[in-house]
């Protein structure tokens, strides 16, 4: 603001200076013009005086009519003319100087130029006038010359006349003297008179001559007078021209005056304008100055208030600067230390992570081992019994009476009242009628989860028709069975392990009816599928053409079940009848990939709703019924054989004796886990079937694992018992043990004997 103020003041000063200069110039010009006009006036005055003088001279000349003075006068006029010319020249020079002098800034340059033009015009006119004057001069000279001539002649003639007159007067006097003398001498006089008279005639003649001469001279004088008159006229005309010139000069003067006045006016206007502009500028500058002053005052107060703030700010700034200067070093240090710390921490975390991972892996393995151990301790093959409640279908009266009781202390024991006798059975677990689906599944879920770890699992529902096999496996919509619960559990487990594992769960549904395998999810349900060995030589079995659905949610499973059901319903006229005569399989495959290790696992969960185990054949069925019964019996007994052989760790397991066992071969052998859910009806009328089922269950289960298995190898009674059971169950079955299939050679007698011998030895040494 101060700077701008100073600038403004400077500007103002500059303007004032310029103004002063302009004023000075103007005054100078004015003075010049004034002096010029004065000079001009003076010159005009002198010219006028001279003209007057000339006029006087002329009048004097006229009065004088003298010849000699005209010359002088001409000389005088010429000198005067010369002087006037010089003066004119000087004036012109002055004028030119003045023309060149004008201020360059003058806005009336044009006006000046006009004036100058006018002046030049005037000068031209003056020149013309001068030329004319010169002409007139010349004329006057000629005239004066002629006049001089005439005067000379006149003088001569005058002189002649005077001489003549003198001579005449002298002769007159002489003659008068002679007359007087003659008078005195009258005679003589008379004589003389006579002579005089003679002589007077002569005189008279002379007089006449003289008179004529005088006449001539007078004529001459008249002529001269004429000439004079002409000259006077000429003079008059020259006077007239002079008057004209004077008028012109007057006019020029007036013009000059007018121009001067105009100039003055314009100058005045300019002055006014200038003053006005100056005033305006000044007032504006004042207003601005005022505003600036106000601003300045505000700024000053601001400055005053800001100064302490500035001081603190500068202080802060300095300290901050110092801090900033120190900051990179500090930052570097901090960064270095932080980096070191972080890297150390990362290292620590890494090491702990590694440690934890290692531990986790170990724990995982341990858990798996424990789980396996648990499952193994529980038995890889376990047999559960489930008693359904009495239903309306059982009817009323003694036939529908409850024949099954349970042990309050042992949940693995079941008592059956058969023909007045109470028979007790011990299984791995017995579910009473009030046991919910949930409870049942609780016991099963360990098996299901091991499927995720890559184990193959089989869950069978065994029992007579109407004993609750389908209820246990499938359940109702409101109360689903093992199928749905198992899949739900799989989903939740897979979701829980999603951080490390990628799992895909696929589902297939098949049916075995009369030893024919059919795909329940396929497009051609009637098509019979074959079970084949994998061509890769792994010994794995697979079913070409069996449809696999990938499932990701409960909705998917429901859809799959519905689809399978619809297939089953549309294919069969009597679903219940048909379903009781066929085995229904739900095969769930869980494939897992450990993202960190790349380990792949494949687990299979086979949920099998077996055909009814009731002994149809006994009642002497025929035709297709008989064939069905034969097939069912065959497959069920084959299953019994297989399970028995597995539990008793026999070298040969007759998987190939039925489609069912053959299909489930890899899910039954090795590390696989199997659960047999034996369903029984508690009704009195079903006791014989119940007894049969329970016997089957118990016999299957009674083959103990581990050390007990030596029993199986030492004695062959379980085999005999089983045969007995099978013989009871399947009277139509002539040869329960089919010849051994390819690659499944039964242990040779030698092998058996050597093994039993070794065991005997052991027993012997242990006492």
Residue 388 engages ligand ADP in binding (rule: CB under 6 A): yes
Rounded Cα gap, residues 202 and 196, in angstroms = 9
The listed partner (ligand ADP, Mg ion, none) that binds 389, CB under 5 to 8 Å by sort, is ligand ADP
Q: Which is nearer to ligand ADP, 389 or 539 (CB)?
A: 389
43 annotated as belonging to a binding site for a ligand: no
Residue 565 CB, nearest approach to Mg ion (Å): 13
Note whether 597 and 361 are within 8 A (CB): no
Q: Which of 465, 484, 635, 690 binds ligand ADP (CB under 6 A)?
A: 465
The listed partner (Mg ion, ligand ADP, none) that binds 466, CB under 5 to 8 Å by sort, is ligand ADP
Note whether 179 and 191 are within 8 A (CB): no
Residue 643 CB, nearest approach to ligand ADP (Å): 19
Rounded Cα gap, residues 193 and 756, in angstroms = 248
Residue 582 CB, nearest approach to ligand ADP (Å): 11
Q: Which helix (H) or strand (E) holds 391?
A: none
Residue 475 CB, nearest approach to Mg ion (Å): 12
Find, among 749, 726, 537, the residue nearest to 638 by Cα: 726
Stretch that binds ligand ADP, among 346-354, 468-476, 534-542, 545-553 (CB under 6 A): 468-476
Residue 391 engages ligand ADP in binding (rule: CB under 6 A): yes
Q: Which is nearer to Mg ion, 479 or 748 (CB)?
A: 479
Residue 389 engages ligand ADP in binding (rule: CB under 6 A): yes
One DSSP character per residue, 490-549 reads HHHHHHHTTTTEEEEEEEEEEEEETTEEEESSSS-TTSEE--EE-TTSS--EE-TT---E
Question: Do β-strands 673-680 and 381-387 pair in parallel, antiparallel, or remain unpaired?
Answer: parallel
Rounded Cα gap, residues 405 and 684, in angstroms = 12
Counting Cβ atoms within 10 Å, is residue 369 exposed (0-12), middle (13-18) or buried (19+)? Answer: exposed
Number of residues binding to ligand ADP, judged by CB under 6 A: 13
Residue 469 CB, nearest approach to Mg ion (Å): 5
Q: Which is nearer to Mg ion, 465 or 702 (CB)?
A: 465
Angle between helices 67-100 and 109-184 (to 10 degrees): 170
Q: Which residue is nearest to ligand ADP (CB)?
A: 468
- Binding residues vs Mg ion (CB under 5 A): 469-470
465 annotated as belonging to a binding site for a ligand: yes
In DSSP terms, 248 is beta-bridged to none
Q: Which residue is nearest to Mg ion (CB)?
A: 470
743 annotated as belonging to a binding site for a ligand: no
Residue 466 engages ligand ADP in binding (rule: CB under 6 A): yes
469 annotated as belonging to a binding site for a ligand: yes
Counting Cβ atoms within 10 Å, is residue 325 exposed (0-12), middle (13-18) or buried (19+)? Answer: exposed
The listed partner (ligand ADP, Mg ion, none) that binds 630, CB under 5 to 8 Å by sort, is none
539 annotated as belonging to a binding site for a ligand: no
468 annotated as belonging to a binding site for a ligand: yes
Torsion of CA 477, 479, 482, 486, to 10 degrees: 80
Q: Which is nearer to Mg ion, 469 or 695 (CB)?
A: 469
Residue 579 CB, nearest approach to ligand ADP (Å): 7
Q: Which of 112, 126, 379, 468 binds ligand ADP (CB under 6 A)?
A: 468
Angle value at C-alpha 483, between 479 and 487, nearest 5 degrees: 105
Q: Which of 143, 469, 634, 673 binds ligand ADP (CB under 6 A)?
A: 469
Stretch that binds ligand ADP, among 147-155, 162-170, 460-468, 565-573 (CB under 6 A): 460-468
Query: To the nearest 5 percent, what fractions of the chain are helix, strand and coil?
Result: 70, 10, 20
Residue 463 engages ligand ADP in binding (rule: CB under 6 A): yes
Rounded Cα gap, residues 767 and 763, in angstroms = 6
Q: Which is nearer to Mg ion, 470 or 648 (CB)?
A: 470
The listed partner (ligand ADP, Mg ion, none) that binds 54, CB under 5 to 8 Å by sort, is none
Residue 580 engages ligand ADP in binding (rule: CB under 6 A): yes
Residue 596 CB, nearest approach to Mg ion (Å): 44
Note whether 9 and 1 are within 8 A (CB): no
Note whether 634 and 486 are within 8 A (CB): no
Rounded Cα gap, residues 539 and 15, in angstroms = 117
Rounded Cα gap, residues 446 and 256, in angstroms = 137
Q: Which is nearer to Mg ion, 470 or 657 (CB)?
A: 470
Tell me, rounded to whole angstroms, the distance of Cα 560 from its chain centroid: 52
Q: Which is nearer to Mg ion, 235 or 467 (CB)?
A: 467
Angle between helices 687-702 and 623-647 (to 10 degrees): 30
The listed partner (ligand ADP, Mg ion, none) that binds 514, CB under 5 to 8 Å by sort, is none
Q: What residue ranges bind ligand ADP (CB under 6 A)?
A: 388-389, 391, 463, 465-471, 580, 679
- Which residues participate in the annotated binding site for ATP? 463-470
């Amino acid at each position: 603001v101060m700077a701008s103020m100073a600038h403004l003041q400077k500007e103002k000063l500059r303007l004032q200076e310029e103004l002063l200069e302009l004023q000075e110039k103007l005054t100078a010009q004015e003075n010049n013009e004034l002096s010029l006009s004065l000079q001009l006036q003076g010159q005009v005055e002198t010219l006028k005086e001279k003209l007057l003088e000339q006029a006087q001279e002329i009048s004097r000349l006229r009065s004088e009519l003298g010849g000699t003075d005209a010359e002088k006068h001409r000389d005088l006029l010429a000198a005067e003319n010369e002087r006037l010319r010089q003066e004119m020249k000087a004036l012109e020079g002055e004028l030119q100087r003045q023309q060149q002098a004008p201020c360059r800034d003058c806005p009336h340059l044009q006006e000046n130029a006009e004036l100058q033009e006018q002046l030049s015009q005037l000068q031209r006119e003056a020149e013309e006038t001068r030329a004319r004057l010169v002409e007139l001069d010349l004329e006057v000279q000629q005239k004066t010359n002629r006049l001089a001539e005439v005067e000379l002649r006149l003088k001569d003639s005058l002189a002649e006349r005077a001489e003549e007159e003198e001579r005449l007067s002298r002769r007159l006097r002489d003659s008068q003297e002679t007359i007087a003398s003659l008078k005195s001498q009258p005679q003589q006089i008379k004589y003389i008179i006579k002579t005089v008279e003679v002589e007077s005639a002569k005189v008279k003649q002379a007089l006449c001559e003289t008179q004529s001469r005088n006449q001539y001279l007078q004529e001459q004088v008249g002529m001269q007078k004429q000439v004079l008159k002409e000259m006077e006229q000429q003079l008059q005309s020259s006077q007239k021209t002079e008057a004209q010139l004077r008028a012109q000069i007057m006019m020029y003067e007036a013009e000059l005056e007018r121009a001067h006045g105009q100039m003055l006016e314009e100058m005045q206007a300019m002055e006014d304008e200038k003053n006005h502009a100056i005033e305006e500028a000044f007032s504006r500058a004042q207003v601005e100055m005022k505003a600036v002053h106000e601003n300045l005052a505000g700024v000053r107060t601001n400055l005053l208030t800001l100064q302490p703030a500035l001081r603190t700010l500068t202080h802060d700034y300095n300290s901050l600067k110092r801090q900033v200067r120190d900051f990179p070093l500090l930052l570097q240090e901090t960064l270095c230390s932080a980096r070191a710390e972080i890297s150390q921490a990362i290292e620590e975390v890494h090491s702990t992570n590694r440690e934890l991972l290692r531990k986790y892996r170990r724990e995982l393995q341990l858990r798996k081992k424990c789980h396996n151990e648990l499952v193994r301790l529980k038995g890889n093959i376990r047999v559960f019994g489930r008693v359904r409640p009495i239903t309306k279908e059982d009817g009323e009266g003694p036939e529908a009476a409850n024949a099954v009781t349970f042990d309050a202390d042992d949940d693995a024991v079941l008592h059956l009242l058969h023909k007045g006798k109470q028979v007790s059975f011990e299984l791995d677990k017995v579910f009473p009628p009030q046991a919910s689906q949930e409870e049942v599944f609780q016991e099963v879920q360990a098996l299901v989860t091991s499927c995720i770890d890559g184990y193959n699992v089989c869950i069978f529902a065994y029992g007579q028709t109407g004993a609750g096999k389908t209820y246990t496996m499938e359940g109702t919509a409101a109360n689903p069975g093992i199928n749905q619960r198992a899949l739900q559990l799989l989903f939740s487990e897979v979701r829980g392990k999603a951080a490390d594992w990628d799992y895909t769960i696929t589902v297939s549904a098949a049916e075995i009816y009369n030893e024919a395998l059919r795909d329940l999810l396929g497009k051609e349900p009637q098509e019979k599928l074959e079970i084949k060995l994998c061509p890769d030589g792994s010994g794995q079995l697979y079913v070409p053409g069996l449809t696999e659905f990938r499932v990701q949610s409960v909705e998917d499973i429901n859809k799959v079940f519905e689809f399978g059901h619809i297939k089953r319903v549309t294919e069969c006229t009597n679903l219940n009848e048909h379903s009781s005569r066929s085995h229904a399989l739900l095969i769930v495959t869980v494939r897992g990939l450990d993202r960190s290790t790349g380990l792949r696992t494949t687990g299979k969960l086979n949920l099998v709703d077996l055909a009814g185990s009731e002994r149809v054949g006994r009642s002497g069925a025929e035709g297709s019924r008989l064939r069905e019964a034969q097939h069912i019996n065959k497959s069920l007994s084959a299953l019994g054989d297989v399970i028995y052989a597995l539990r008793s760790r026999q070298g040969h397991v007759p998987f190939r004796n039925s489609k069912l066992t053959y299909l489930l071969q890899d899910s039954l052998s090795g590390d696989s886990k199997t659960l047999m859910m034996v369903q029984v009806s508690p009704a009195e009328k079903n006791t014989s079937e119940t007894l049969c089922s329970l016997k089957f269950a118990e016999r299957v289960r009674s083959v103990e694992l581990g050390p007990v298995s030596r029993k199986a190898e030492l004695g062959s009674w379980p085999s005999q018992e089983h045969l007995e059971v099978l013989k009871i169950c399947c009277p139509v079955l002539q040869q329960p043990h089919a010849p051994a299939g390819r690659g499944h050679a039964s242990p040779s007698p030698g092998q058996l004997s050597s093994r039993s011998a070794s065991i005997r030895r052991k027993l012997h040494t242990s006492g």
